[in-house]
Amino acid sequence: MSLLLNVDSLRKVYGHAKHEETAILKDVSFSLQRGEIVGLIGASGAGKSTVGRILASLEQQNGGTIWFDGSDLTELTGKRRRAFAKDIQMIFQDPYDSLSGRMCIQDLVEEPLIIQKYEKDSAKRRQLVNEALSLVSLDPKKYGARFPHELSGGERQRVGVARALVCRPKLIICDEPTSMLDTSLRLELIGLLKKLNEQFGIAYLFITHDIALTKGFCHRLLVLYEGHIVDQGFTETVIEYPEHPFTIKLIEALRSLENTKGESQ
Ligand SMILES: Nc1ncnc2c1ncn2[C@@H]1O[C@H](COP(=O)(O)OP(=O)(O)OP(=O)(O)O)[C@@H](O)[C@H]1O
């Protein structure tokens, strides 16, 4: 494994008050190797999505550096920064909200190729779309002309994965992609992400509240608390032997949340 991403002292403040005290991210530092799957956990509102959105160039940081595959992204602006967007894609929590209802599945998966200017030839683009759909087990002939509302939640989330992988990124930010799926679909999506990781060496930053899912999937876990990464380590070690007082509390809280969910299902 070699280094893919190194985030150093990342800082983010929303709104006009740019004081340190109001920063959501104060000093976030972590790294990720090529092909590595790293989970990011933390309380609700801790800033996990903000980290993901900054990495995916959907949000601008207020400080710190993001070294990615040989370049400091924070030094790049406009077109040059967007060029990296091809290599860092994102899968969102709500598979319905993140797909335009006016576009058919084929066009939705083709869109990133056009935006990123990945392939000029339309026939080749169509081929890439078909490949991406097949990889997520959606038959292009059957699903290509359908619209999002004609798909199940699990199928829609697989379209989200196809959109994320069609440009062959090096890193996919997964922002709670399983939280709106039921247990069997959750496991199915994890299986698919694992397969794509093994096949293409795509690394994931996997944002989640579901610690059970991280076991056997995430190589490492990062714990975000009060604007800092306060704990990190191999997944099983962080879950079974949490060290930081916040991690101990968080793991307990997430466990009891899972137990309540399990009882109500
Ligand atoms: N565009 C924005 N403008 C102002 N505040 C924002 C914006 N986006 C997020 N925030 C605030 O920043 C904080 C962190 O939000 P973020 O969505 O990153 O947290 P999170 O850890 O992903 O939460 P959750 O687990 O509930 O999804 C929250 O208090 C949120 O209200």
DSSP string, 135-160: HTT--HHHHTT--GGGS-HHHHHHHH
Confirm whether 33 is domain-assigned: yes
Confirm whether 95 is domain-assigned: no
Are 173 and 83 in the same domain? yes
Are 79 and 174 in the same domain? yes
Ligand 1: centre distance to CA 53 (Å): 10
Atom of ligand 1 nearest to the CA of 42: 21
Ligand 1: centre distance to CA 45 (Å): 5
Structural domain span for residue 150? 100-168
Ligand 1: centre distance to CA 48 (Å): 8
CATH code of the domain in which 223 resides:
3.40.50.300
53 Cβ closer than 6 Å to some ligand 1 atom:
no
Confirm whether 93 is domain-assigned: no
Are 108 and 192 in the same domain? no
128 Cβ closer than 6 Å to some ligand 1 atom:
no
Atom of ligand 1 nearest to the CA of 93: 27
What pTM was estimated for this model as a whole?
Answer: 0.91
208 Cβ closer than 6 Å to some ligand 1 atom:
no
Are 164 and 188 in the same domain? no
Are 109 and 155 in the same domain? yes
64 Cβ closer than 6 Å to some ligand 1 atom:
no
The total of structural domains in the chain comes to: 2
Confirm whether 127 is domain-assigned: yes
The neighbour count for residue 150, using CB atoms within 10 Å, is: 12
Q: Which of 136, 168, 200 is the last residue of a domain?
A: 168
Are 144 and 124 in the same domain? yes
ipTM above 0.85, yes or no: yes
Task: Work out whether strand 71-72 and strand 88-91 pair parallel, antiparallel, or are unpaired.
Answer: unpaired
Confirm whether 94 is domain-assigned: no
Are 162 and 174 in the same domain? no
Are 21 and 71 in the same domain? yes
Q: Which of 113, 134, 168 is the last residue of a domain?
A: 168
Q: Which of 140, 168, 196 is the last residue of a domain?
A: 168
Confirm whether 92 is domain-assigned: no
Ligand 1: centre distance to CA 139 (Å): 36
H/E run at residue 210: none
Q: In b/e form, how buried is each residue of 82-100, taking b as 16+ CB within 10 angstroms?
A: eebbbbbbbbbbbbeebbe
50 Cβ closer than 6 Å to some ligand 1 atom:
yes
**Could you give the CA distance from residue 191 to residue 195 in angstroms, rounded to a whole number?**
6
Contact 175, 200 (CB under 8 A): no
Q: DSSP character for 191?
A: H
Q: How confident is the prediction along the chain (265 residues), in pLDDT tens digits per residue?
A: 799 999 999 999 987 665 666 899 999 999 999 999 999 999 889 999 999 999 998 898 999 999 999 889 888 877 777 777 789 999 998 877 778 889 999 999 999 999 888 888 999 999 999 999 999 999 999 999 999 999 998 899 999 999 999 999 999 999 998 888 888 888 889 999 999 999 999 999 999 988 888 988 999 999 999 999 999 999 999 999 998 999 998 888 877 777 766 555 5
